[in-house]
Structure 1
Amino acid sequence: MSTTTSGITQDEAEIYDRQIRLWGLDAQQRIRNARVLIAGMRALSDEVCKNIALAGVGSITLLDHDTIKEEDLGAQFFLSAKDIGKNRAEASAPAIQQLNPRVNVVVDQDDIVNKPDDFFNNFDIVCLFHKEIGILERVNTLRRKVGKPFYTADAFGWFGYIFCDLVKHTYIEERKSESRGKKSGEEPKVQRTTCVEEYASFEQSLRSDWSAKGKKVKRLSPLSFVIHVLFKFEQDHGRSPTEKDIPQILAQKDKYLEAMGVKDSNLLQDELIKDVVSLLDTEMAPVAAIVGGVLAQEMIKVLSAKELPIQNWFYYSGLDGSGMIHQI
């Protein structure tokens, strides 16, 4: 089997031909060598695994200690009724492997909270799904120490979000010189600029004072206020809210907004709070497909070092089909 100068085999060059044409041979090589940790197997992580496996990522480690329940079958397409009672990661692995036999799929059935700090160091990307705020802050802090990308994401009911911390990300921005091409009849030249972007941590984003945004705060997604308030509730109470907590959240929403530097209580919509909290444990395949597609695309951007990825939050609402990026 012949090998190209970048280490990609001739077979791989043919399989990933379209991708190589899109972002280059060196970028595909980085994707091929990448190790990705997916912690928490849900409908959203199924979508991410599908997309990055088809893109040719080198290794995917599936970390989940939970067993499959009947309600998991509604949106998680890697599972079937015969998998009930099995470990989520173990049951999902064969289908991911079948999508792309060249990807190394690793199953880890440990509980993430019991993993030692150095476990998270060697992955090129770490992504946590549907996890408690304590483990999110811990893993993000560990990833910042080694200067490597961290994601957390969730999809519930009609809603979903992605948080991204790349610490300090270097990427290539490409721009075509259109005017020169039009005048001379030649192909426009491509100007490549090396850019560096710094990111805030998950903890910093929750402590961020939004008052600096001024009038721009009214143009933010209404979902952003709800998600941040839910995380603040979890910080205060050590658990995620349930429907029984909705009256308490509504009664204290001014307090939560004030802590964010927001004075207009109308920005935190009561009905949206009720909708989100009541659906926190409900998965919908179409919403997971949209948010998972965006997240997988962002991971490929990071690995290929092409274009600027999300900076820092992405919110999706299926109620109006909106997807918005908010930079902290």
Structure 2
Amino acid sequence: MSVEITKDEAAIYDRQIRLWGLDAQQRIGKADILIAGVRGLSDEVCKNLALAGVASITLLDHENVTEADLGAQFFLTEENIGQNKAEASAPSIRNLNPRVKVVVDQQNICEKSDEFFESFAVVCLIHSNYLVMNRVDKLRRKVNKPFYASDAFGWFGYIFCDLGEHAYIHEKKPDPKAEHKKPEKTPMTESYKSFEESLGRNWSDLRPKELKKISPVAFLTHHNNRSPTKDDSGALIVTKAKYLSAMGVEDTNLLNDCYIHDLSNLSDTEITTIAATVGGVLAQDILRTVSANELPICNWFYLDGKEGSGSVHKV
């Protein structure tokens, strides 16, 4: 897309331009986004990004559609079973906004070269494993470009955001009593921690009162590769203690047994409402990042579907 917005585009994106300004919409209109991993969560993200008018969305996924995918992925139907996930989802995204270029890539992300991840304005990994997330985050930090990772599992979900050194505009609302009611815009910069640094956080230095303010989903997310055993309740409690102590947490009451149980049994299950909520927050934050308008998530967002709450923690 060109830097300038045409009259047709100005009419289509009129509400957004009024919301965050012409300059921000121009930056959004030039953004090439990589979404790696096609799930119900990515459907929600792609829908919102396409409607916002990004330049392009690249869908990267080597897997084929199964019957289990139909429950949470609203871009798919029974006719798509057996087809590549990215290829099957692309037509619906194109229909949402024909002005947005949708690119399909059916290669395995593990086979991609380092250079592949460097050019995109934003790279977002969905339902990926920690080794791949760590590798891609390091590559993105080398070129100082935004990296996101997100997942929805059972009643829980998370978003991780690493923007390196991120410059943005903070807008302060004017005083209603002031004579001149123009918002005050201030350039600001925020430094982000890497994925590896954040996962290496040891929680033992926090006081019990401080630990209780941390979402239980944080303890599930940061070490979800330590899946608890599907055993009787006694074994589950022992597992929970080991699970938390690995992060320097001795108070097992911080993580209810039901959280451990759900992680063990629903770790690969997408619930539509959870995926939609996390995906909505994620898409909004990606747009905030590329528009450089206000501070994005810094640096973890956790959704606790059991409590009906979402929280942001800087870890």
TM-score computed with the length of structure 1 as normaliser: 0.90
Picking from 177, 200, 219, the partner of 1:182 is: 177
User: Does 2:211 align with 1:217?
Assistant: yes
Q: Is the 8 A contact 1:246 1:277 kept in 2?
A: no
Q: Is the 8 A contact 1:246 1:274 kept in 2?
A: no
**Aligned match of 2:278:** 291
1:209 Cα deviation (Å)?
2.0
User: Does 2:207 align with 1:207?
Assistant: no
* CA–CA separation in structure 1 for the residues paired with 2:307 and 2:149: 23
SS of 1:254's partner is helix
Extract structure 1 runs of 4+ deviating beyond 6 A.
244-249
* CA–CA separation in structure 1 for the residues paired with 2:58 and 2:166: 23
RMSD: 2.0
1:263 Cα deviation (Å)?
2.5
SS of 2:206's partner is helix
1:245 Cα deviation (Å)?
11
More helix by share: 1
Q: Map 1:221-300; keep pairs closer than 5 Å.
A: 221-231=215-225, 233=226, 243=230, 250-300=237-287
Between 260-269 and 35-44, report the one with greater CA deviation. Answer: 260-269
* CA–CA separation in structure 1 for the residues paired with 2:129 and 2:228: 11
**Aligned match of 1:82:** 79
1:256 Cα deviation (Å)?
3.9
Name structure 2 gaps, 5 residues minimum: none
Instruction: Name the CA shift for 1:244/1:175 in 2 (closer, same or farther; >3 Å).
Output: same
Amino acid at match of 1:30: R
**Aligned match of 1:195:** 188
Between 267-276 and 100-109, report the one with greater CA deviation. Answer: 267-276
Aligned identity (percent) is 58
* CA–CA separation in structure 1 for the residues paired with 2:296 and 2:40: 23
**Aligned match of 1:236:** none
Name structure 1 gaps, 5 residues minimum: 234-239
Between 53-62 and 205-214, report the one with greater CA deviation. Answer: 205-214
Q: Is the 8 A contact 1:60 1:106 kept in 2?
A: yes
**Aligned match of 1:126:** 123
Picking from 82, 93, 97, the partner of 1:96 is: 93
* CA–CA separation in structure 2 for the residues paired with 1:268 and 1:10: 54
SS of 2:74's partner is coil
* CA–CA separation in structure 1 for the residues paired with 2:254 and 2:290: 36
**Aligned match of 1:237:** none
**Aligned match of 1:14:** 11
Picking from 295, 302, 310, the partner of 1:323 is: 310
1:269 Cα deviation (Å)?
2.2
* CA–CA separation in structure 2 for the residues paired with 1:308 and 1:248: 43
SS of 1:289's partner is helix
* CA–CA separation in structure 2 for the residues paired with 1:253 and 1:34: 43
* CA–CA separation in structure 2 for the residues paired with 1:124 and 1:291: 21
1:241 Cα deviation (Å)?
6.5
Instruction: Name the CA shift for 1:299/1:258 in 2 (closer, same or farther; >3 Å).
Output: same
Q: How many residues align?
A: 314
* CA–CA separation in structure 1 for the residues paired with 2:232 and 2:151: 20
TM-score computed with the length of structure 2 as normaliser: 0.94
* CA–CA separation in structure 2 for the residues paired with 1:217 and 1:45: 31
Between 256-265 and 15-24, report the one with greater CA deviation. Answer: 256-265
Instruction: Name the CA shift for 1:227/1:297 in 2 (closer, same or farther; >3 Å).
Output: same
SS of 2:158's partner is strand
* CA–CA separation in structure 1 for the residues paired with 2:270 and 2:148: 19
* CA–CA separation in structure 1 for the residues paired with 2:195 and 2:295: 19
1:247 Cα deviation (Å)?
7.8
* CA–CA separation in structure 2 for the residues paired with 1:241 and 1:125: 33
